[in-house]
Structure formats: structure tokens, C-alpha cells
A and B are shown apart, each in its own frame.
Chain A
Amino acid sequence: MFIAASLAILVTMGLALVRALAGPTTFDRIAAVNMFGTKTVLLIAVLAFLSGRTDLLDIALVYALINFIGVIAALKLVTQGNFYSSDYDVNEVKKGEPE
């Protein structure tokens, strides 16, 4: 049953990867990568039980943390154009210069 679940997760990861490669906008790609990361966490968790080595669950936990921080950081970079301004300001982003 773990094999069936991991196959289903792998199919989902493939579909998300296709969308990440073909997405017309940047946000499509980020959404697909977010989904890919969540499914990676689940795949590691299922593989931990499939191979009987439940230590792998630590890796899944760390991957979940890194995935969330990575998505938020990528969104902040795409929306603001930088990491230092604390507010959304579209005009400032378009100038491309700090004030």
C-alpha cells in the first residue's frame, strides 16, 4: 500500500513539474514548486515507512520547513524586487533603485 501511495505522489509530482516548466507566469511556477515541495515531504514520509527506516521523517520535517521559507522568500523577491524594503511598494520596485 505504501508503493501505491508513493506512485500516486510521484504522478502528482510529475504533473506539478510540467506546470513548473511550462507555466506562463512566474506565480504559476512558484505555485507548482510549492506543490512539488509539499509532495516531496509526503514522498519522504511514505518512503520512510516503505523502507522501515523511520529516521527519514526528520528529513521530511526539515524539508517542510525549508520549503515554506523558500516559497515565501521567492514570493517576496518576485513581488518587491529586493529583500530589504519592508513594505510592498510597486513604484519603488519599478524604479529599481533604493530611495
Chain B
Amino acid sequence: MIIDILSWIFLLAGGALGIVGGIGIYRFPDFYSRLHAAGITDTLCAMLILLGLGLQAGWSIAAFKLALIFVFLFFTSPTASHALANAALYSGLKPKLNSDEGEAKS
């Protein structure tokens, strides 16, 4: 019972975080801010949903597979975000700064 409620909370929090990240990647004005929204929520959303599923699975082979996915995403998701930001910065994409916007408006 308690495990079910905890799993509900984890799954719903993960889903809500995913939607927040989706809105962020859709609405933000600039590549780096979009990456900020996507990269941070991606990791935590995956963690929460996999934790919620793992509570449902109990001690079984499914929980072990979920743990494998968990560990893999935990290491690769920030790595992919870092590689994206590094590649964009290296290929000359400038972050959009507040002063640029002010000059463009005036």
C-alpha cells in the first residue's frame, strides 16, 4: 500500500518534470537555455520514473534491468548534454545575452 503510493508519487513527479522539460525546450529563446531546460529535467525525470517502476517491480529480474537502465542513463544523459554544449560552443554558436536583446530592441 505504502509502496503503491510512493510509486504513484514518483511516477507522477517524473511525468510532470518531463512536461516541464518539454515546455522548456519548446518555449525558450536560445539554444543554450533550451539545453539547460532539456538536460536537467531529462536526467531527473528518468530517475523518478525508473524509481517508480522499480518499486512496482519488487525484487525480480525486471528490477535489475531497470537498475541497469538507471545507471546507464545516469551517466550518459549529462555526458550527452555536455557534448552538445561543447560542440555548439566550439562551432561558434554564441549564447544570446541580455545586452544583445536590448540593442536589438532600441
Which residues on A are within 8 Å of B, measured CB to CB?
1-2, 4-5, 7-9, 11-16, 18-19, 25, 27-28, 30-32, 34-35, 38-39, 41-42, 45-46, 48-49, 54, 57-58, 60-61, 64-65, 68, 71-72, 75, 78-79, 88, 90
Could you tell me if A61 and B68 are in contact, using CB atoms closer than 8 angstroms? Answer: yes
Would you give the shortest CB distance from A77 to chain B, in whole angstroms?
10
Could you tell me if A78 and B91 are in contact, using CB atoms closer than 8 angstroms? Answer: yes
Could you tell me if B15 and A5 are in contact, using CB atoms closer than 8 angstroms? Answer: yes
Could you tell me if B50 and A75 are in contact, using CB atoms closer than 8 angstroms? Answer: no
Known: A27-B88, A61-B68. A35 touches B42 (CB 8 A): yes
In this complex, the member of A2, A14, A34 whose beta carbon has the largest number of chain B beta carbons within 10 angstroms is A34
What sequence of 0s and 1s flags, for each residue 75-106 of chain B, a beta carbon within 8 Å of any chain A beta carbon?
Answer: 01101110110011011110000000000000
Could you tell me if A12 and B19 are in contact, using CB atoms closer than 8 angstroms? Answer: yes
Interface residues on B, range: 35 or more
What sequence of 0s and 1s flags, for each residue 24-64 of chain B, a beta carbon within 8 Å of any chain A beta carbon?
Answer: 01100001001100110010011001101100110011100
- Please indicate the chain A residues that have their CB under 8 angstroms from the CB of B16 in the complex: 8
